[in-house]
């Protein structure tokens, strides 16, 4: 496990926009580029769409997934992003932030992993957040015919549930419940015409261990409406999918103070063995005899952890961990997690 | 005592080289600077991504973010190719004035008479190199290297090795092809029999490769020392340990340039320092103290007396090793 790197001033923030054609991605992109926030963006797109993107600095790149030669099938990076980001960063004065627009069929994991696994990219940029645009009307259909739509939601830090004006309140509630079932820790914003407040999309620090879970009320708040047994159990139940076409699920675990001698080997082993099935993981861990909260975040097998800040006097010393993924053995995860608790 | 004539520029230096006796510095912003009775500047690209010297040593070949491939020398610029709004990410210079360039998944060769041939690949063309003998060039790609014979309709030769190959070079005798890879390693093939060579153990990516005189050694960056692999034997470096030259505890080697005739390598570090180190006894001479940024480019002149160098911060210059 690598210790988190302190972000430096020179690290350029990167926002990844995912979503299907027609989800409102280009509309949001153009809003980010045109609104008066004083930031200049470099935009990386996989294909120049039919709707123009209004920006000086647009780079087209061919999606190029590179498996690393280390025997780990989920350790993939986007070779095109490595090259383009490297090129862009050689002329750093032109922009303050980077937007990566992926196609609707793109797997978000290699995109995110590029910013952790490639030493050069990581030295100069930091992944700020993965934002998924979801078309409220067509999501059920998308989930039926593709795994990518589900992956994009599972992977997102922010879900913009767009085109809410095209569905009934009941349909909207159902779609939102589906999104929530796939990803219990993402922030969801309901919008029409991609009209989300840009502060909800930009500068989220979703991968910044100092901030990662503070911006995540669903994760920390035990009154979370989806956390049904939060008041009496030591764990949440797995969020079962309300519809048939969803194969991603989340497992939320809760426990007391952890024995670091047990917990760290356990999380290392779990991420090694289950890495391909784990899309994202996030956690706050209370370590025995440690005055600081220990925070964790991971993408497949890549996991980062760091001491975040001292526990506040009124905070309960408890450990919480959420896995989002496929084929997760909830029972085994829970039992082995609980076995790491300090005696 | 070696002396340094500094040239303080603003921006990442992609290539530092000599055309005749004149030092040239190609920057990422698309400007090319030269020290020819004073500092002269030419804007060639809107964003320069790759640069190399042509085989005659008389022109600078460049590729840019503006989709252009240019040949330049002094104040003259010729546009050899234009591909629109895609990046020209790699260039290589071949025999008889030919030039190869990469755009996305295609590699093209332009002959000196203006004809050109395009070769499509299933994956992105990451690196290009011409063979020292004959009209043959190599494309580094995902899972290996493709060798093309652009002057004939001969079928390409595929060299396979799993992983992402990001740059490629031929040994000066044409017997070996070596790539650098995404995962901190080099991979080599002996062309006669396709034998593999794995050169691993680097803590960082290998971004700079340089063959010593007559191709006896291959120097590489990517570690706290220059890693220099022996290629004298018929099977190359297999089963042999590399030399580790110019080891520093607190710095990484970012650029290497072998002396044109002697077994000496100039080593540039991530703090801007440059050392010259002799292979035989690992004796080191300081050529340049640390500067503003990592050394990104170096080349010796034909007189074997001067080294043009550049860094990612733009503090470039010319080292005169005789003082």
- Which one of B47, B86, B205 has the shortest CB-CB distance to A120? B205
Q: How many CB atoms lie within 10 A of CB A55?
A: 18
Q: CA A187 → CA A113, A161, A222, B82, distances in Å?
A: 21, 10, 16, 45
pLDDT of residue A213: 61
Identify residues of B whose CB sits under 8 angstroms from chain A CBs: 11-12, 14, 28-29, 47, 49, 65, 85-87, 89, 104-105, 123-124, 126, 142, 162-164, 166, 181-183, 185, 204-205, 312
| pLDDT tens digits, A234-245 | 334 444 445 556
**Contact list, A84 vs chain B (CB under 8 Å):** 87
Which residue did the predictor score with more confidence, A61 or B164?
B164
Q: How many CB atoms lie within 10 A of CB A68?
A: 20
| pLDDT tens digits, A274-312 | 888 999 998 899 999 999 999 998 899 888 899 988 988
**Contact list, A88 vs chain B (CB under 8 Å):** none
- Interface ipTM above 0.90: yes
Shortest Cα distance from B64 to chain A (angstroms)?
10
Dist CA B16 CA B269 (whole Å): 15
Does the beta-carbon distance from B85 to A90 stay under 8 Å?
A: no
pLDDT range class, residue A2, cuts 50, 70, 90:
very low
**Contact list, B89 vs chain A (CB under 8 Å):** 83, 87
Average confidence (pLDDT) over B60-85 = 96
pLDDT of residue B120: 96
pLDDT range class, residue A145, cuts 50, 70, 90:
confident
Does the beta-carbon distance from B164 to A66 stay under 8 Å?
A: yes
pLDDT of residue B237: 93
- Which one of A60, A79, A84 has the shortest CB-CB distance to B182? A79
Indicate whether B315 pLDDT > 60.
yes
Which residue's structure tokens are 């993981």?
A281
pLDDT of residue A294: 93
Average confidence (pLDDT) over B237-255 = 95
**Contact list, B142 vs chain A (CB under 8 Å):** 64, 66, 79
Alpha helix stretches (DSSP H) within A158-304: 169-182, 217-220, 260-274
| pLDDT tens digits, B90-106 | 999 999 999 999 999 99
Dist CA A272 CA A294 (whole Å): 20
Shortest Cα distance from B104 to chain A (angstroms)?
7
Q: What is the set of domains in chain A, with CATH numbers?
A: 2-200 (3.40.50.300), 217-223+233-338 (3.30.1220.10)
Average confidence (pLDDT) over A162-174 = 93
**Contact list, B124 vs chain A (CB under 8 Å):** 62, 64, 79-80, 83
Our CA angle for A215, A192, A199, nearest 5°, is 30
Average confidence (pLDDT) over A196-202 = 88
């Amino acid at each position: 496990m690598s210790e988190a790197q302190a972000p430096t001033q020179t690290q350029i923030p990167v926002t990844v926009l995912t979503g299907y054609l027609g989800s409102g991605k280009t509309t949001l992109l153009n809003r980010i580029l045109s609104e008066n926030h004083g930031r200049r963006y470099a935009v990386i797109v996989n294909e120049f769409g039919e709707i123009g993107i209004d920006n000086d600095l647009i780079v087209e790149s061919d999606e190029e997934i590179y498996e690393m030669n280390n025997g780990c099938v989920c350790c993939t990076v986007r070779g095109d992003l490595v090259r383009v980001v490297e090129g862009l960063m050689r002329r750093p004065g032109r922009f303050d932030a980077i937007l990566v627009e992926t196609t609707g069929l793109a797997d978000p994991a290699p995109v995110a992993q590029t910013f952790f696994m490639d030493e050069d990219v990581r030295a100069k940029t930091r992944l700020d957040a993965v934002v998924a645009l979801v078309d409220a009307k067509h999501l059920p259909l998308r989930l039926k015919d593709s795994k990518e739509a589900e992956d994009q939601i599972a992977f997102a830090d922010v879900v913009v549930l767009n085109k809410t004006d095209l569905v009934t309140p009941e349909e909207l509630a159902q779609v939102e419940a589906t999104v929530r079932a796939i990803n219990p820790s993402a922030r969801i914003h309901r919008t029409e015409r991609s009209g989300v407040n840009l502060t909800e999309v930009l500068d989220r620090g979703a991968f910044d261990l100092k901030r990662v879970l503070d911006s995540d009320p669903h994760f920390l708040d035990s009154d979370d409406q989806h956390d049904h047994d939060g008041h009496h159990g030591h764990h949440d139940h797995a969020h079962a999918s309300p519809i048939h076409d969803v194969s991603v699920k989340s497992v939320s675990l809760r426990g007391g103070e952890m024995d670091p001698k047990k917990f760290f080997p356990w999380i290392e082993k779990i991420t090694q063995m289950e890495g391909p099935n784990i899309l994202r993981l996030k956690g706050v861990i209370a370590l025995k005899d440690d005055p600081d909260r220990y925070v964790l975040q991971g993408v497949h097998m890549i996991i980062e952890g760091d001491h975040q800040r001292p526990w506040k006097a009124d905070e309960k010393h408890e450990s919480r961990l959420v896995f989002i993924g496929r084929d997760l053995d909830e029972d085994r995860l829970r039992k082995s997690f609980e076995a790491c608790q300090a005696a | 005592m070696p002396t340094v004539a500094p040239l303080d520029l603003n921006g990442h230096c992609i290539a530092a080289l000599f055309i005749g006796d004149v030092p040239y510095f190609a920057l990422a912003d698309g400007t090319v600077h030269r020290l020819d009775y004073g500092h002269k500047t030419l804007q060639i690209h809107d964003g320069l991504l790759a640069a190399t010297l042509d085989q005659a040593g008389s022109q600078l070949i460049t590729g840019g973010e503006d989709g252009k491939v240019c040949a330049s020398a002094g104040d003259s610029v010729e546009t050899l190719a234009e591909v629109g709004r895609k990046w020209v990410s790699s260039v290589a210079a071949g025999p008889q004035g030919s030039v190869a360039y990469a755009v996305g998944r295609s590699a093209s060769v332009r002959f000196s008479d203006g004809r050109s041939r395009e070769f499509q690949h299933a994956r992105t063309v990451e690196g290009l190199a011409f063979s020292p003998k004959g009209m043959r060039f190599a494309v580094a790609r995902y899972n290996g290297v493709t060798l093309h014979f652009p002057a004939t309709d001969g079928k390409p030769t595929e060299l396979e090795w799993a992983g992402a190959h990001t740059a490629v070079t031929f040994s000066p005798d044409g017997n070996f092809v070596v790539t650098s890879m995404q995962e901190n390693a080099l991979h080599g093939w002996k062309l006669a029999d396709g034998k593999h060579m794995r050169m691993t153990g680097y803590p960082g990516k290998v971004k700079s490769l340089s063959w010593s005189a007559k191709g006896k050694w291959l120097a590489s960056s990517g570690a706290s020392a220059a890693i220099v692999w022996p290629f004298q034997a018929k099977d190359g470096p297999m089963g042999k340990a590399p030399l580790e030259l110019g080891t520093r505890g607190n710095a990484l080697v970012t650029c290497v340039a072998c002396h044109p005739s002697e077994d000496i390598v100039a080593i540039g570090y991530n703090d801007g320092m440059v050392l010259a180190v002799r292979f035989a006894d690992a004796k080191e001479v300081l050529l340049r103290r640390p500067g503003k940024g990592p050394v990104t480019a170096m080349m010796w002149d034909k007189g074997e007396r001067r080294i043009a160098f550049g860094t990612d911060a733009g503090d470039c210059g010319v080292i005169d090793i005789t003082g």
